[in-house]
Amino acid sequence: MIKLLWLIPTLPFLSALILILVGSRLSWRVAARIGAGSIGLAALLTILVGYEFLSSGKDAYLHVAWNWFQAGDLSTTFAFYLDSLSMVFIFVITFVGFLIHIYSIEFMQEDEGFSRFFAYLNLFVCSMLILVLADNLVLLYLGWEGVGLCSYLLIGFWYSEEKNGYAARKAFIITRVGDTAMAIGLFMLFTVFHTLNIQDILTQAPLVWTTGASMAVLIAFLLLGGAVGKSAQLPLQTWLPDAMAGPSPVSALIHAATMVTAGVYLITRMHIVYELAPLAQLWVGIIGAVTLLIAGFSALTQFDLKRVLAYSTISQIGYMFLAMGVGAWSAAVFHFMIHAFFKALLFLAAGAVIMALHHEHDMFRMGGLKNKLPTIYWTFLIGAASLAALPFITAGFYSKDQILWLAWAGEKGNLWFFLAALTGAVVTAVYTFRMVFITFFGEAKTKISHVPGMRITIPLVILAALSLLGGFIELPHTLGHLTLFSDYLSPLLPSVTLKEGIESTEWAIQLVTAALALGGVYFAYILYVKQPKLSDEIKSSTFELHQFWFRGWDFDALYNLVFVRPFVYLSRINKNDVIDQFYTGLVQITEYFNTAFVKTQSGILRWYVMGIVVGAILIMTISLFVQP
Amino acid sequence: MMLASLIAILMVGGIAAGFLARVNQTACRWLSLITVTIAFGIILFIWIDEGLSMTLTDSWLRDLYIPWIPSFGIAFHLAMDGLSLLMLALTFFLGILAVLVSWKEIQYRVGFFHFNLLWVLAGITGVFLTMDLFLFYFFWEVMLIPMYFLIGIWGHENKQYAAYKFFIFTQASGLLMLLAILALYFIHGEQTGIYSFDYFALLNTTLTPDTARWLMCGFLIAFVVKLPVVPLHTWLPDAHTEAPTAGSVLLAGLLLKTGAYGLIRFVLPIFPEAAASIAPIAMLLGVVGIIYGAVQAYSQTDFKRLVAYTSVSHMGFIMLGVFAFNELAMQGVVMQMITHGISTGALFIIAGVLYERIHTRDILRMGGMWKKVPFMGTVAMVFVMASLGLPGLGNFIAEFMTLIGAWQANKLLTIIATAGLVFATAYSLRIMQKVFLGKNIEGHGITDLSLREKFILVPLCIAIIWLGLFPQQVINTAKPTVANGSHAKNHAAIHNRTRTDNVQYTSAFDTERRKP
Amino acid sequence: MNVLPVEMGLLLAGVLFTLGLISVLIRRNIIFMLISVEIMLNAAGLAFIVAGSRWAQADGQVMFIFILTMAAAEVSVGLALILQIYHHLKTLDSDAADKMSG
């Protein structure tokens, strides 16, 4: 079975190919079967492959499809490398991907671009699988750009809106900025190791570099550049909120569960480089900490349901970066997995709400949906609870608690990281339940037009179950001490060394976290259910700050001013190419002399005679005076 | 003889097609198509027959030597190595498509059009094959003049201006090359007593650094104008914009490549030291081209002009790679020559196809086409992505190898060049947005690709994806030429030995040897 | 018989030449211009004859015969052109024939 690993990315690719080529001639039923079925098969295959891989007890499995290109020292293969880390990722991608595909069948049913949608979505799954299965960095880069392309295509899926096209281009271009840094990182890695094979680099790196080697730090920073672009972290986070222009399943799959966590995958995959570059690793943590706060505060002020979730995604990925910054690799991957469950759930549920209300995005025009859409309400509530990390019952608690604890207690952790994470936890609880209360409580403001069917509710229920139960595979010391997940990853990802004599404080930290999360929920309850006026008062008294957060801390305005406008301006004023003016000038000078000399060609015979005479006289005079 | 027959087939085919059009225009088109297809077949035959068994020491597949004007040391000398082979394959592939795109577009003086088309191809074939510098100059002109007619007669509104500009730029720079060739000829003659225009003989000329620099500049200017390199690029947007579709395809796909080919074939082997000494400047010019072309492309509103500026940007990579002096970068350059020919050619064809339907090239007046022409949109998406260097398509392999090679030579410039990829994204996506996405402002009702157009664009699509996923065959074919710095000189050693036996080098200037 | 000094002969030739030249420049009637050119030719011929007799050489007379022949040819071509000009322009004004201007 494990020999069929190559089929896992190939199936979505073939399906995408079929849908692109003949999709428009297929009925939606056939298109849906091909589109979702291929992912289903891939998910099934993943489980079989995963079972065999785990039972085989081997560290890794490599499948070389063909030699991609080889020139000079550079040799790359089209090869898939499966180890415990990529196993987690392909599991999440195919499984969550399959649920989202099922959901999309109903969600996109009425859309005229149905088969096109599934083609893009399949292509995305294929690229994402290549990204995580790639055995060398060039192939990883292929997947990396491939998911970028699909993200672009899907954000701009409803292309007749100018705004969507703009958001799509913004996403592509900003991630491309990060990719540029990453590409340069690849060049440098190649210069040092003469290979871009990931495993070769990872085995050689500790031999070539000592800890803190400047080259290692530089490379780690450049790869981080790629990661912050893809994962929408500071300073390249601005594209993700706009990316919500795409259909909701897209937001769930690409902009929450999988693609945006590619940065986490990259850094985790290259963790040996980061451990050799403590400075870069520290900055991974700093970026994570700052991003999670900035995005969290922005999420507090949004009124578009999906934008809240977008900022929350940025913020949660910030947690993962923070975890990686303190070397808690498996905690980051764990949070990635749990986040994929609950955030996909939240997006899908939000999509269902939006669909039910005539594509209404504004939360303040929703309300009172608790009784009208009970399934959606309960699943959304579970997702929200998991996001807010409500203690003990939700998976989000266990994954986030681990990060908080290690940010405090880990060797590379410090007080600031911890405080940032803690503040973030409160803010998360507040904005999450603000969203729940505004959307589902209170009075109904818009009529429901579409009651979601089975294809929407079943994925929601499954994801809700995972958002609750997924956490119980990794329990902290104080509560059962179960470490299935980190044990599973431990051969690959080192565990965190704790500071000395700090274990005893773990229960206290957990208590504080739990209390703060609950406190946040209660705070939201007061503001948005009990005394809604209070929230309005707070809003009006801090209007400037509110707007500042609402605009995402004005990063867009800054980038527009510093990069976009100068570029467009330069390009516009030089539309006719200033260099061409030089050649035009040359032509004009020539033409000027031409017109000057043309005047002598008057056509009047006597002028010519005169010319001859004057010329003759001149020559004679000169020859008289100038003796040879 | 196969090499000479390639050129002869095209020339004879061109004349025949020209006359045939008086009787029947469709027959003329078919004849042209068959002619180019035969040439393509010959190249494929050579590739399959011998291309796979090349060695690093002597990788010349074919060599044809016929004395032409022996008293001046001019010979009809054609030879083919991996690089020529690849370029010829591209030439005839695009040649076939150029005939096909003109099927409906050209309705006026059809015979003369096809005559010119085939003669341009013949000239390009000659340029890619000839190993005699006099002959090289001859073919350089042969490809220039028919091209001038193609632009000047069948072009768009401003065709006269564009044709003149194209002609003057290329001709003026070509004359500098002629001067350099003559100087090289005399210097070599004085040194060795053998006056010859033969490439392999001239390779061994020893030059003082100063002379070498001047002579190299002569060659260099001719090639960088063709390439083109900023600031000598301004003929290109005009020529590309005004030319008929087939003309644009040939210009972008092939004529620009003759410049790159010249750099690899002549400038580097003949003047290695001089080329190394200007490498930083040349790379800088390449990078300036990448950025400048990209910025310029962003603001253009004429579809073809926009694509023309992307060519300027992409050709910057060639300049960057050639002067990085390592195998990786050089492989990237060869790859770039092929993939750029395909992707840009395809974009010009799409522009032409759109122009046939809505009679404008102004992208501000397009928009929302996807709904009407999903097939064309998908194809366009592939090539737009190719142009921004998406991995999985050929252009990525080219740019990646070029950049990773250039990194070994100059880090700062490579960083800037890599940043150019962001600009490439900006202008590429703008094409997609303005033409196919957004709203259909003017309500154009247009039909999707016809069977003939699919037959043109689908092979291009397959080619670009194939090159992106399986580029190794191309890399292997080019390897002997680019991997082995003394590749040409090896050949010189082997062939001169055999040649001196049967061919006497005599020269009009070689007075010493005439005396008994 | 007194031999005229050579200077007088040359002077006469010079005066004739100058007169011819001036009238070419100031005359607008194309026939007069042609006549003036003839005068200039003859002035040159006279100079040759004078010089020939001064050096007692036949070359001067040979040259004069050349000039005569040439003048005859010139007049025949010139008159033909004049006829054409008159035919086209209905005038003999040379300034009217400025079609080649620019």
Find residue B362's DSSP bridge partners.
Answer: B302
Distance CA(A452)–CA(A441), nearest Å, equals 19
CB contact under 8 A, C98 and A613: no
At A341-369, the pLDDT tens digits run 989 999 998 888 888 888 777 878 887 77
Contact assignment for A72 to B392 by CB distance below 8 Å: no
Averaged pLDDT for residues B241-267: 91
Using 50, 70 and 90 to split pLDDT, how confident is the model at B514? very low
**Tens of pLDDT, residues B487-511:** 555 555 555 544 444 444 444 443 3
pLDDT value for B290 = 92
A598 → closest Cβ in C25, C26, C102: C102
Question: How many pairs of residues across A and C have Cβ atoms under 8 Å apart?
Answer: 34
CB contact set of A193 (below 8 Å; sequence gap of 6+) = A200, A201, A204, A205, A208
Which residues are CB-contacts of B99 (< 8 A; sequence separation ≥ 6)?
Answer: B29, B32, B33, B36, B114, B117, B246
Identity (one letter) of the amino acid at B317? F
Please provide the size of chain A in residues.
Answer: 628
Residue C2: predicted pLDDT = 64
Average pLDDT over residues A147-164: 88
Residue B436: its pLDDT value, please? 85
**What amino acid is encoded at A626 in this protein?**
V
Q: How far is CA B180 from the centre of its chain?
A: 22
A235-249, A340-354, A544-558: lowest mean pLDDT where?
A544-558
pLDDT at B287 over 60: yes
Q: Given an 8 Å threshold on Cβ–Cβ distance, is A601 in contact with C94?
A: no
Burial of residue A202 (CB within 10 Å: 0-12, 13-18, 19+) is middle
Query: Does position B133 have pLDDT exceeding 80, yes or no?
Result: yes
Domain residue limits, chain B = 280-485
Q: What is the pLDDT of residues A408-431, one digit of tens each?
A: 888 888 888 888 888 888 889 888
Q: Is the pLDDT of residue A101 over 60?
A: yes
| DSSP collapsed to 3 states, A552-600 | CCCHHHHHHHHHHHHHHHHHHHCCCCHHHHHHHHHHHHHHHHHHHHHCC
Q: Among A116, A570, A583, select the one facing B234 at the smallest CB separation.
A: A583
Confidence of residue C73 (pLDDT cuts 50, 70, 90): very high
The CA-to-CA distance between both ends of chain B, in Å, stands at 35
**What pLDDT, on the 0 to 100 scale, is given for residue A614?**
92
pLDDT higher than 50, residue B330: yes
Structure tokens belonging to residue A266: 């990259």
Q: Is C24 within 8 Å of A609 when comparing Cβ atoms? A: yes
CB of C42 less than 8 A from some CB of A:
no
Identity of the residue numbered A109? Q
Q: Which chain B residues have a beta carbon less than 8 Å from that of A149?
A: 385, 390
- Residue A134's alpha-carbon distances to A148, A185, A202, A227, A624, in angstroms, are 16, 17, 14, 16, 91
Model pLDDT, residue C11: 93
Q: Is residue A485 predicted with pLDDT exceeding 90? A: no
Which of the 8 DSSP states describes residue B265? I
- Helix (H) / strand (E) element for B328: namely helix B327-358
Find which of A6, A176, A559 to mutate to test the B interface (most B CBs within 10 Å of its CB).
A176
DSSP-assigned states of every residue in A403-428: HHHHHHHBTT--HHHHHHHHHHHHHH
Residues of chain A with Cβ-Cβ distance to C98 below 8 Å are 602-604
pLDDT at A268 over 80: yes
10 Å CB burial of residue B225 (0-12, 13-18, 19+) is: buried
The answer, yes or no, to whether residue A93 has pLDDT greater than 80, is yes
- Give the pLDDT of residue B510: 39
Chains B and C touch (3+ CB pairs under 8 A): no
pLDDT band at B513 (very low <50, low <70, confident <90, very high): very low
Judge contact between B328 and B468, C-beta under 8 A: no
Domain positions in chain A: 329-541, 576-625
- B52: pLDDT strictly greater than 70: no
Residues with Cβ within 8 Å of A617's Cβ and at least 6 positions away in sequence, in order, are none
Q: What is the pLDDT of residues A251-267, one digit of tens each?
A: 888 888 888 889 999 99
Q: Does A570 touch chain C (CB under 8 A)?
A: no
Q: Is A601 on the interface with C (CB under 8 A)?
A: yes
Statement: residue B151 has pLDDT above 80: yes
Confidence label for B345 from pLDDT (cuts 50, 70 and 90): very high
Q: Got the DSSP string for B68-136?
A: EEGGGTEEEEEEE-HHHHHHHHHHHHHHHHHHHHHHHH--SSHHHHHHHHHHHHHHHHHHHHB-BHHHH
Q: Is it the case that residue A73 has pLDDT exceeding 90?
A: no
pLDDT band at A524 (very low <50, low <70, confident <90, very high): confident
In the prediction, which pLDDT does B180 show? 92
Phi then psi for residue C28, to 5 deg, are: -105, -20
Instruction: Give me the pLDDT at residue B490, please.
Output: 58
Say yes or no to pLDDT of A239 above 60: yes
Contact B296 A180 (CB under 8 A): no
Rounded to two decimals, what is the model's pTM?
Answer: 0.88
Total H helices, total E strands in chain B: 22, 2
CA distance A44 to A413: 39
Interchain contact C102–A (C-beta under 8 A): yes
Name the strand (E) or helix (H) holding A67.
strand A60-71
For domain C29-90, give the fold.
Helix Hairpins (1.10.287)
Q: How far is the C-alpha of A174 from the C-alpha of A241, rounded, in Å?
A: 13
Nearest chain A residue to C98 by CA: give it. A603
CA of C28 to nearest chain A CA: how many angstroms apart? 8
Torsional class of B78: left (φ above 0), alpha (ψ -120 to 50), beta (otherwise) = beta
Domain residue spans of chain C? 29-90
B378 contacts in A (CB within 8 Å)?
20
User: Which residues does residue B78 pair with via DSSP β-bridges, in sequence order?
Assistant: B64, B130
Q: Going by C-beta distance under 8 Å and a sequence separation of 6 or more, which residues neighbour residue B21?
A: B27, B28, B110, B111, B112, B114
A596–chain C Cβ distance below 8 A for any pair = no
For range B391-400, the mean pLDDT: 90
Mean pLDDT of A23-31: 83
C10 touches chain A (CB under 8 A): no
B362, pLDDT greater than 90: no
pLDDT band per the 50, 70, 90 thresholds, residue A576: confident
User: Taking 60 as the threshold, does the pLDDT of residue B452 lie above it?
Assistant: yes
Which chains are within 8 Å of B by 3+ CB pairs? Answer: A
Burial of B145 from C-beta contacts in 10 A (0-12 / 13-18 / 19+): middle
Contact C94/A at CB under 8 A: yes
Q: What is the pLDDT of residue B511?
A: 38
Residue among C25, C97, C99 whose CB faces A609 most closely: C25
